[in-house]
């Protein structure tokens, strides 16, 4: 799969590009089955909501080993549907997965992500530059405004990095967020935030400097999403004191090779192995 010149221009202008229905209902069902299995596992690769103890985030589903490994996510990260577009957006063949995270914003319990830029955290991980990174968001449910879809401020990736502050109070997940004063200033000069809604199977590539946030899940429906973060091998982090664990700041920077597009077959092989 290749992005058109128009899609590349959209990403450059808005900081994101939406690719509807990239994965099939059967693939999405299989991925959801995997996350239902993994969320029961007791591991530090999984963060739980403050209320209820349900899984908020599951990391590192894309590798072949580890407690949260899953063959279908391993295949998806390397699939012809995600890897070639990531290569186009980053202008380089040699990419690796910086991390994967699955945000299970569960009905009623699923909680807020305050306004932030992802590179505000990744800079602290030692990543030299923002532009050589891009995230593919994959919708596993239908995100809506009521169930806590993501919001983007279009074009905000062009503001550059806004010096973040550390929010360790709002939710169970500590996050480097955009300070309120700066946020309001940027919002006054920007288009209104857009809700990132769509059918399950839809993918949205977005820039690591785009301002984004999502609210609490007030609905009775889950809002599960998976994020595949790609980085150029040449942009891998420099050494930092006390680096974050491998499941958020991967040290597997071997260049990814394009794999099979038959994701369901990969699952079949695993279950018969
Ligand atoms: C994030 O921005 O990292 C996650 C937000 C969400 O899943 O709603
Ligand atoms: Mn984010």
Each of the 273 residues of the chain gets a pLDDT tens digit; together they read 999 999 999 999 999 999 999 999 999 999 999 999 999 999 999 988 776 678 889 999 999 999 999 999 999 999 999 999 999 999 999 999 999 999 999 999 888 999 999 999 999 999 999 999 999 999 999 999 999 999 999 999 999 999 999 998 887 678 899 999 999 999 999 999 999 999 999 999 999 999 999 999 999 999 999 999 999 999 999 999 999 999 999 999 999 999 999 999 988 765 444
Q: Are 228 and 140 in contact (CB under 8 A)?
A: no
Mapping DSSP to helix (H, G, I), strand (E, B) and coil, where does residue 52 land? coil
Ligand 1 centroid vs 272 CA: distance in angstroms? Answer: 34
Domain edges within the chain = 5-245
CA nearest neighbour of 89 among 145, 144, 23, 15: 15
Instruction: Write out residues with Cβ below 6 Å of ligand 1.
Output: 103, 105, 113, 150, 212, 214, 225
Largest CA distance in the chain: 56
C-alpha span between 54 and 52 (Å, rounded)? 6
Q: Which H helix or E strand runs over 72?
A: helix 71-78
**Domain 5-245 falls under CATH 2.60.120.620:** yes
State CA 139 to chain mean position distance.
10
DSSP letter at 78 equals: H
Say which ligand is closest to the CA of 113.
1
Choosing from 227, 229, 248 the residue with most ligand 1 atoms within 8 A of its CB, the one to mutate for a pocket test is: 227
Distance CA 45, CA 63 (A): 13
């Amino acid at each position: 799969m290749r992005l058109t010149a128009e899609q590349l221009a959209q990403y450059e202008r808005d900081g994101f590009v939406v690719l509807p229905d990239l994965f099939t209902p059967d693939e999405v069902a299989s991925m959801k089955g995997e996350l239902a299995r993994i969320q029961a596992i007791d591991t530090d690769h999984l963060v739980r909501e403050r209320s209820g103890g349900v899984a908020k985030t599951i990391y590192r589903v894309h590798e072949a080993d580890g407690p949260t490994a899953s063959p279908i996510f391993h295949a998806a990260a390397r699939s012809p549907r995600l890897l070639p577009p990531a290569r186009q957006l980053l202008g380089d063949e040699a990419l690796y997965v910086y991390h994967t995270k699955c945000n299970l914003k569960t009905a009623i319990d699923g909680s807020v992500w305050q306004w932030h830029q992802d590179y505000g955290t990744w800079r602290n991980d030692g990543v030299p530059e923002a532009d050589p990174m891009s995230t593919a968001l994959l919708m596993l449910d239908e995100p809506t405004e009521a169930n806590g879809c993501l919001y983007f401020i279009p074009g905000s990736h062009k503001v550059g990095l806004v010096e973040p502050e550390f929010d360790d109070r709002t939710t169970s997940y500590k996050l480097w967020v955009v300070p309120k004063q700066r946020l309001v200033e940027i919002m006054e000069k920007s288009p209104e935030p857009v809700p990132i809604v769509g059918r399950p199977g839809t993918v949205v590539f977005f820039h690591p400097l785009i301002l984004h946030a999502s609210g609490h899940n007030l609905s009775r429906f889950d809002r599960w999403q998976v994020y595949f973060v790609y980085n150029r091998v040449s942009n891998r982090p420099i050494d930092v004191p006390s680096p974050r664990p491998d499941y958020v700041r991967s040290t597997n920077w071997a260049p990814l090779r394009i794999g099979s597009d038959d994701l369901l077959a990969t699952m079949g092989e695993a279950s018969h192995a």
